Amino acid sequence: MTAGPENSPAPHGGGGNGPSGYGARRAPGGPRPKKYTRTRRKACIFCVEKVKQIDYKQAIVQRYRNKLVTDRGKILPRRTTGTCAKHQRMVAEAVKQARQIALLPFVAD
């Protein structure tokens, strides 16, 4: 491994498709930074309340609107809301029903 030519601006060219450069690297044996604790999954708000059926009139419009839907009427992804797959599907259906009766806007621009 000899010294290469001088025109090598960066060791990594900045290619976007690679798992390298993933977050902050931790020192071996050192204490883990506490702020990086991402293991705990947020509980689904519907499972917590044992909701079996999501009523689009009540749930979407009144209670959970700011949690599940953006201001523009877009459904928030599960990773944002923490909703489980089962309930997220119900949410999607409920939002679409709510749009039909103009409780929620379609994606506005």
Smallest separation (angstroms) from Zn ion to the CB of 40: 16
Q: How far is the CB of 60 from Zn ion (least distance, A)?
A: 15
Q: What is the 3-state secondary structure (H, E, C) of the chain?
A: CCCCCCCCCCCCCCCCCCCCCCCCCCCCCCCCCHHHCCCCCCCCHHHHCCCCCCCHHHHHHHHCHHHHECCCCCECCHHHHCCCHHHHHHHHHHHHHHHHCCCCCCCCC
Closest residue to Zn ion using C-beta atoms:
44
Q: Which is nearer to Zn ion, 61 or 84 (CB)?
A: 84
Considering only residues 59, 87, 90, 94, which one is a binding residue for Zn ion as defined by CB under 5 A? 87
Give contact residues for Zn ion (rule: CB under 5 A): 44, 46-47, 84, 87
